[in-house]
Amino acid sequence: MPIDPAWMSIGEMGQALRERRVSCVELVTATLDRTKRLDKALNSYITLLADSAVADATQVDAEIAKGHYRGPLHGIPVAIKDHIDSAGVRTTAGAKSRITNVPTTDAAVVRRVKQAGAVIIGKANMNKFADGESGDNPDFGRIKNPWNTAYSPGGSSSGGGAQVAGGLVPLSIGSDNGGSVRIPAALCGIVGLKPTHGRISLEGIFPRLYSLDHPGPLTRSVADCAIALQVLAGHDAADTTTARRPVPDYSADLRTGITGLALGVDRKYASVGQPHVLAAFDAALTTLRGLGASIVDVTLPSYADMLAVGNTIASCEYSVAAATLYRQHPTDFENAKPPAASSADIKAGALIPAVDYIRATQKRRLLQREYARATQHVAFVLSPTYPLAPRPFGEYPQVQGKQFTADDAIRYTFPFDLLGLPAISVPCGFSPDGMPIGLQIVGRPFDEAGVLKAAYAYEQATDWHTRHPALITPQ
């Protein structure tokens, strides 16, 4: 049967496949046709795996025909950020100097989605070396925002945001160490989850920031995000950073609501941004009150303190992660433009005394305790996801009489990478020029289920998630 999977949810696709109302080959072929037609404008893929995707889809159909249905991701088209290892497929981390890098094994997250029966469509374009949030890749070209292809989709999981928002795939796996899942989710009008540090394995992912990296899903709905997390989460014996904690049923309590819950807002912290972003945030608070939640004032640790501690840790960890790359391909860093790390940044990170790194990690623990005390009486903390609406590529604008910087841009996301807390971005409005805005919901450690429940309650009370980019919506 003819099928247009563009705006189907994972649940809808899965049900159609399970009931054999559509074949996986039909689903994947339609996905590839749409991708080939629209990705010329979006540039969201570095490598498209058309042949292997169709072959995998054929196997899925054979399995389902025999009654072997693996679960909600069985037969679902999925994209993978191109710094996550895929066996037999080039994995570049967004750099042409790594174009011959072909891993022999899959990263843990790739193994998990394959074991769940998902069909890998391709490797997503990204900020080079997962550095920055512009979507402007000097080697493989700019990734475009589906809502306006002259605008940035955010990053560094830029391709993933564009793919999901553009209806190319319902799920793209990205990573986040400063906002790299949540920022493209906000700027592309989709859902992006950064789980607790240690909830999803980092094994096989380009080693950027050992203690700040978090893999995470980008989807078009909260329910789809819960399905994806169910597959991705859990201890991995090959990754000592993963926690030995049970994985709950993330879809079980999605619909239980947030009546009676206290939601925390730091009014000073959440006061930075363009007027339409702050107005959308205030409107979201009103909606959440209407759902029976209360809004409680909290005082979070100083952003300046969290930024200083996080920058020290990030500089040291990246100088180690990039040391071999820098020796092999120094021009990748010598020509880097801010905020991407340059050769000077790599050298500076290597010169930070070990005692300063240790003090920064100790200070992080103190900040985690301070945050826990400040939020002990609330279930979640709320903020805008990103202080700006999507904008054209280039310099940051002036906001509130001040020239914005890269540090300002990650104000709402980077602290929760540092603290290791679960955080989700969901659509909460649009700017005057019709570009998406995101709401961030932050939970307690390993309470992804609660974060998803709160996000689902808000999502279902609004219609922001039902809107799609007119530019590439089929006529």
Determine the distance from the C-alpha atom of residue 20 to the mean position of all C-alpha atoms in its chain, rounded to a whole number: 31
- Bridge partner list, 317: none
Count the neighbouring beta carbons within 10 Å of the beta carbon of residue 307. 18
Residues with catalytic roles? 81, 156, 180
Give the integer Cα–Cα distance in Å for 404 and 389. Answer: 13
Q: What are phi and psi of 383, to 5 degrees?
A: -160, 165
Give the integer Cα–Cα distance in Å for 318 and 344. Answer: 12
CA atoms in the 13 A half-sphere facing the CB of 345: 21
Strands 171-176 and 77-81: parallel
Rounded to 10 deg, the angle between the 10-18 and 50-65 helix axes is 50
E strands in 339-433 = 380-384, 398-399, 402-403, 423-430
What's the CA angle centered on 181, arms 226 and 224, to 5 degrees?
20
C-alpha torsion angle, residues 97, 102, 103, 105 (rounded to 10): 160
Residues 6+ apart with CB under 8 A from 96: 139, 140
Give the integer Cα–Cα distance in Å for 203 and 239. Answer: 6
Give the integer Cα–Cα distance in Å for 472 and 366. Answer: 47
Give the distance between the most distant pair of CA atoms in the chain.
64
